[in-house]
Structure 1
Amino acid sequence: MITLHHLNQSRSKRIIWLLEELNIEYQITPYLRDKVTFLAPPELKAVHPLGKSPVIEEDGVVIAESGAITEHLIAKYAPNELAPERDSEDYTEYLQWLHFAESSAALPLLLKVFIAKDGAPTNFLADYAEAELDKVMSYVDARLAGKRYLVADKLTGADIMMSFIIDILAKFNALERYAHISRYAKQLASHPAYQKAQQLEAQYDM
């Protein structure tokens, strides 16, 4: 049995989606952010020293980091369904997108989140975050032209990883700036497992 240590309003929702997509048995141990600081509760440090989410436990092994969790679960349970074949050109592109979500795409969005929460004027960061965000998202938008998914014309772990980025864009009301990303967001939301993850996230966000 897989246990997902799930923090509300976090990267953990995409792991719920992945687990639902894999159709394997799992359970959720939920945690709530502090209503004042919005930080994860200290109880998560008993699971992993960094006290962050998502974290899964499987057969006594603790695995952290969204990308590592996604790679591990797909390789074990659905290597040919949620990833291209390893010896294909698509697989190389898949790996790039899989890690893009937590590297190039995440930084400008998280900077905007932190700047908004801080509320203080900045000398550099706000303008940098906005310019970097537009550069990165314009790149994604161009790569999605004429495509339903990021790679191989099918849902893969890369799309599931990118769903967190889509969520933050939506919170900033920025999806409408990018026509292809906006269409892509609707495509992701059409999956029943995605909808189940949304439902479970709302259920535990209380």
Structure 2
Amino acid sequence: MITVHHLDNSRSQRILWLLEELELPYEIRFYKRDPKTMLAPKSLRRIHPLGKAPIITDTEGDVTLAESGAIIEYLVERYGNGRLQPERSTPEHVQFLYWLHYAEGSAMPPLLLKLVFGLLPTRVPFIIRPVASLIASGVQSRIINPQLKLHMDFWEQALSQREWFTGQDFTAADIQMSFPLEAAASRAGALQGRPHVGAFLRRIHARPAYQRALIKGGAYTFASAGDAPA
């Protein structure tokens, strides 16, 4: 049996969605963020030393696995029976591998930096908040926002050429890419002048498996990101 250790409002929502697409039985163990730090609870470290979600355990292979990309690759390889990934040794499979790893390796870092620097002025003593605000604003405008624009334009260009990231067929790489696009739509203006990004988000949100995962996983802030045409 597969168990998903699911942190509220997190990347682990993608794993629930993937399992729904594959129509696999699974259990969910729910974890809540610390209301002050917004970090995962220390109890997750009992499952994996880093204590980061998502984590899955699979009794079929005595597996405990973290990292979204690794989990998605494992589930598709072990249980997919050819579903949700292109045939090997094809150009589409090369693209599949690229987007599967690009999502966390390249797309997420500037989004995380934007979140951190956006919160910075509120997390320092009141007396130095004006200085912290200036620093945070400068870093965002000079470094983070240009990088985000580069990535968001890259997504728009890719999706203007094909319906899904790897081609004409929906794959697990689209599931992996959902979180960066949803986060960017909510926090970084990804929909402004990027109609294909918005169309992608509306397509994934309309999928029955996505909706089933929302019902099972609970509140998810980004579930409506991009649903209204830009």
Shorter-chain TM-score above 0.5: yes
The aligned counterpart of 2:125 is: none
- Return the offset for 1:89: 1.3
- Return the offset for 1:92: 0.6
Length, aligned pairs only: 205
The aligned counterpart of 1:135 is: 150
The aligned counterpart of 1:24 is: 24
Which of the residues 85, 90, 93 maps onto 1:91? 93
The aligned counterpart of 1:185 is: 201
Task: Please identify which structure carries the higher helix content.
Answer: 2
**2:139 maps to 1:125:** yes
Give ranges in structure 1 of 5+ residues lacking alignment: none
Instruction: Indicate the structure (1 or 2) with the bigger Cα radius of gyration.
Output: 2
- What aligned pairs does 1:144-183 form with structure 2 within 5 A after superposition? 144-172=159-187, 174-177=189-192, 178-183=194-199
Question: Are the counterparts in 2 of residues 4 and 55 from structure 1 also a CA contact under 8 Å?
Answer: yes
Question: Are the counterparts in 2 of residues 84 and 152 from structure 1 also a CA contact under 8 Å?
Answer: no
4+ aligned runs moved over 6 Å, structure 1: none
Per-residue Cα deviation, 1:105-133 (whole angstroms, up to 9, x for no partner): 11111111111122232265312111100
Question: Are the counterparts in 2 of residues 30 and 204 from structure 1 also a CA contact under 8 Å?
Answer: no
Higher relative contact order, chain-length normalized (CA < 8 Å, sep 6+)? 1
Q: C-alpha separation between the residues in 1 aligned to 2:91 and 2:46? A: 41
The aligned counterpart of 1:201 is: 217
DSSP-derived class of the 2:106 partner:
coil
Q: C-alpha separation between the residues in 2 aligned to 1:186 and 1:203? A: 18
Question: Are the counterparts in 1 of residues 5 and 31 from structure 2 also a CA contact under 8 Å?
Answer: yes
- What aligned pairs does 1:2-151 form with structure 2 within 5 A after superposition? 2-59=2-59, 60-119=62-121, 120-121=132-133, 122=135, 125-127=139-141, 128-151=143-166
- Return the offset for 1:203: 5.2
The TM-score, its normalising length taken from structure 1, stands at: 0.94
- Return the offset for 1:166: 2.0
Per-residue Cα deviation, 1:127-154 (whole angstroms, up to 9, x for no partner): 2111100001101110110422111311
RMSD: 1.7
* Seq. identity, %: 39
Question: Are the counterparts in 2 of residues 148 and 187 from structure 1 also a CA contact under 8 Å?
Answer: no
